Amino acid sequence: MPQETGKKIIILYILQILRKYTDADHTMTQQQIAEKLRSEYGLEVNRSTVKRNISDLLEAGYDIQYTEVTRGFTNKKTGEKEENSIFTDLYYEHDFTEAELHMIIDGLLFSRSVPYKHRKQLIDKLGKLSGSYFNQRMNHVHCMSSDAPQNPELFYTIDVLDEAITEGKQVRITYNQYGTDFGLHPTLNEDGTVKRQTLNPYQMVANEGRYYLICNNDHYSTVSNYRIDRITEIELLDTPAKPKNQVEGLENGLNLQDYVYQNLNMFTDEPADTEFIIEKRYVSLIIDFFGRHVSFHEREDGTVSCRLKVSVTAMKHWAAEHANIARVVSPASLVEEIRTEIRKANALYGL
C-alpha cells in the first residue's frame, strides 16, 4: 500500500476497529488501537496519530465515547517536564443496544410470515450492527425453519405495497389459499380462470406473527384485511387509490391501534359493545389479549365483568376458544351464535 494512501485510510480503519471490537463493556486504549492497525492492516502508527484521527472522527460527528487523561512526561530534547493528554476507555456508541437488538431478533425468530432464508439473512445483518462480542453470543441464537409453507414473493410484495401506499396508487393482485400439497393456489372465478383483484391499499400491519394489508377491494365499499403472505403476482397501477373517507369503517380515518384491537385476529366486521364474565384469577390473561382496551367491573359474586368494543366475528371465535374461562353475556345475538358453535363442537365429540 502506498504510504500516502495508507495515511488517508487510517481514519477509516480506526472507525472499523472501534465498531467491531468496542462497546460500553469493552473499551480500548490508543495503544491497543495502534496494535490492531498493525496486526490487521499492516500499518505502523504511534498513539499520537491514533489520537489525531479519533479527534477528526469526533469532529465529524461520530458517536465515540472516551475518557481524556492528562499525564506528565520529560521532554528528551529539553529535559523539561511537560504534559499532554491521551484518550482512553474508547468505545463506539452503537445505534442499537444489545437488548434492543435481541428484541428485534426475537421478533424475527418467531415471525410466521417471513421465509426462513430471509429471516436468517436479516438476523445476520442485525448482528453486524453491534460489535464482535455481540456476534459471539449470536452463536446461541438459532433461526428455526418453519413448518408452515413460505411465500418467496413476500418481500417483493411488501416493497410494492409500500410504494403504492406512499404514492396513493392502486395495486392488482392474485390472492391465494394453501392446499393440502402445502402450496399456494389462486382464488378462481366461476369460469375457472385466475381471479385478479384491484385493491386500494392503506396500511400494512403485523399482528400475531402475520403481516396484513388494511385496504379496500375496489369492487366493494367496506374495509378488508388481506394476508400479505398469501398475495402473489402483485402489480402497481397508475390509477389513484380510493380515499379512505369513501370506505365504510374508515370515514374518520384509520386509528391503527384502535383498529387492530377492535378487529381481533384481523376480522373486519362492524365492532360492537361486548361483555363477558370471568373469574378474577384470569384478569392477567385478559389483559394479555386485550390490553387497556378492556374495562373491568367487579361483581358481587366475586367474578369480573369485562367490557370492550370488538369485532363480533372475532369475539365469537375467541369466546368459543376460551369457553372454559369466559362467558359472553352481551350482545344477545352473539351469545346465541356462541351457543350454536358450542353445540356444533359437542356434536363433533358425541356429547
Indicate the burial class of 92 (C-beta count within 10 angstroms; 0-12, 13-18, 19 or more).
buried
| pLDDT band, residue 233 (cuts 50/70/90) | very high
- Give the integer Cα–Cα distance in Å for 103 and 122: 13
Indicate the burial class of 238 (C-beta count within 10 angstroms; 0-12, 13-18, 19 or more).
exposed
3-state helix, strand, coil in the chain (%, to 5): 40, 30, 30
Mean pLDDT of 105-129: 69
State pLDDT tens for residues 164-197. Answer: 999 999 999 999 988 777 788 999 999 999 999 9
More confident residue, 320 or 105: 320
> Position 133: which residue type?
Y
Element (H, E) at 239: strand 231-240
Contact status, residue 315 vs residue 263, Cβ threshold 8 Å? no
Q: Is the pLDDT of residue 248 over 50?
A: yes
Of 98-102, 167-171, 262-266, 292-296, minimum mean pLDDT range: 262-266
Sign of the alpha-carbon torsion through 65, 71, 76, 78: positive
The whole-number pLDDT of residue 39 equals: 93
The whole-number pLDDT of residue 119 equals: 72
Share of the chain above pLDDT 90, in %: 35
Q: Is the pLDDT of residue 19 over 70?
A: yes
The whole-number pLDDT of residue 148 equals: 54
- Give the integer Cα–Cα distance in Å for 123 and 101: 9
The whole-number pLDDT of residue 140 equals: 46
Mean pLDDT of 288-313: 86
SS3 323: coil
Q: Is the pLDDT of residue 321 over 90?
A: no
The whole-number pLDDT of residue 160 equals: 93
State pLDDT tens for residues 20-47. Answer: 888 888 899 999 999 999 999 989 899 8
Per-residue cell: 337: 351464535
pTM: 0.54
- Give the integer Cα–Cα distance in Å for 351 and 348: 8
State pLDDT tens for residues 48-94. Answer: 899 999 999 999 999 899 898 887 667 777 777 777 788 899 988 88
State pLDDT tens for residues 144-167. Answer: 455 555 788 888 898 899 899 999
Q: What is the mean pLDDT of the chain?
A: 82
The whole-number pLDDT of residue 108 equals: 67
